[in-house]
Structure 1
């Protein structure tokens, strides 16, 4: 798909995967709460929370891709003297996140094994990311795994910083 097509579906797939991830987070926050009043202001607040979670998921994906791409650019271009086509690598990373679509069935069919399923989906997506890097750069498994780990670390630090920022803003509002 990466080399043999000229389809630019990676952005559409990326947005769809972000919607899946935002919906998963949003449904985890509110569970099965429902209001019978259609004019309920709480419903609109929940909708804005969904948009915020979409933004957070997009920021985390941006941090993941930026971390992995920066590491690979530094490693390949600066340390090894090679070249990296960052656009193609970004496209491959976005396409390799297709496994996030599996988040929707996990939410729809709530089950006791949902945390295990979510972990396996996350592992599948990270493995796909690593494979995409290996295909594009024709590099070793170790280098692609390190790049994915750097991206994951970047994503985790961004998520933690956003969480801390949100907590500090809530603290200011309550005091």
Structure 2
């Protein structure tokens, strides 16, 4: 709590705008420091509830609430937590996605450490990594483009910081790709059920993030995310045509 409090105190001094996790309205502070180690949580000016109860929560509890798709937890992570490691998570996503694609492309894989290291050094794994990066980039661009079109049709505008928050939220919402790690441990990496479970989890997580950013209903957010997944699927279907060219070039 002490490390989190120091971080939030610095943010308060920099006049950062926070968001109430209950109603989504902006507030000037999360808490007030009464004494050296005593703080008082601030209440929202609109709903009169605590602005962000997760300030005092353990990160594990916050993660569990995010896994349960609680809107309050998403608001805390996107707006109030000041997460800056989303780019590192992006690299992890690409590695997991590349390994998943590589595992499905290998029909005669022997699951041993030496076999894995042997194939990991081959050009096809790096080609899979490149394809995963292209698919993720197209997913983000198409989804952000569809959001912009919807706002344009409604004569609404988003500020630059809102697009940055949306981009960060979508990257954080892709943490369902990390499910490949327990799948490798359980030896189910080549299972289609694991692949579909990962996609479904990402669909719900991204939809919840779009809902929080746009303050829209579930059907609208789901439609926008599905459009992004359709573009990603279209790119994925053309990837096998480009993969031999990339491997031959390597």
Instruction: Give the TM-score normalised by the residue count of structure 1.
Output: 0.82
| C-alpha RMSD of the superposition | 2.8
The separation in 2 between residues aligned to 1:68 and 1:45, in whole angstroms, is: 31
Gaps of 5+ in 1: 37-42
Confirm or deny: 8 A CA contact 1:20 1:100 kept in the other structure.
yes
Structure 1 residues 78-99: Cα deviation after superposition (integer angstroms, max 9, x where no partner)? 1011122221111100000111
Q: Identify the match of residue 69 of structure 1 among 141, 144, 149.
A: 144
**Whose radius of gyration is greater, 1 or 2?**
2
**What displacement does 1:28 show?**
2.9
Q: Which is worse superposed, 104-113 or 87-96?
A: 104-113
The whole-number CA distance in structure 2 between the counterparts of 1:35 and 1:7 is: 34
Alignment check: 8 A CA contact 2:103 2:190 kept: no
Aligned to 2:92: 16
Look up the match of 1:151. 228
Contact residue 22 and residue 57 of structure 1 kept, 8 A = yes
Cα deviation digits, residues 41-83 of structure 1 (max 9, x gap): xx4785322111111111101111111110010111x101112
Q: Are residues 79 and 49 of structure 1, via their aligned partners in 2, closer, same or farther at CA, if it must alter by over 3 Å?
A: same
State the shift of 1:158 in Å: 1.2
Taking a change above 3 Å as real, the CA distance of residues 68 and 112 of structure 1, as seen in their structure-2 partners, is closer
For residue 60 of structure 1, what is the aligned residue in structure 2? 135
Aligned-partner Cα distance in 1 for 2:126–2:78: 30
Report how far residue 112 of structure 1 moved: 9.8
Q: 1:83 aligns with which of 131, 146, 157?
A: 157
Structure-2 change in CA distance of 1:100 and 1:45 (3 Å): closer
Q: CA deviation at 1:108?
A: 2.8
Q: What secondary structure does 1:122 align onto?
A: helix
TM-score (normalizing by structure 2) = 0.59
- Structure 2: give runs of 5+ residues left out of the alignment: 1-76
- The alignment status of 1:49 with 2:127, answered yes or no, reads no
Gap change, CA 1:107 and 1:82, over 3 Å in 2: same
1:32 paired to 2:107:
no
Name the residue aligned to 2:214.
Answer: 137
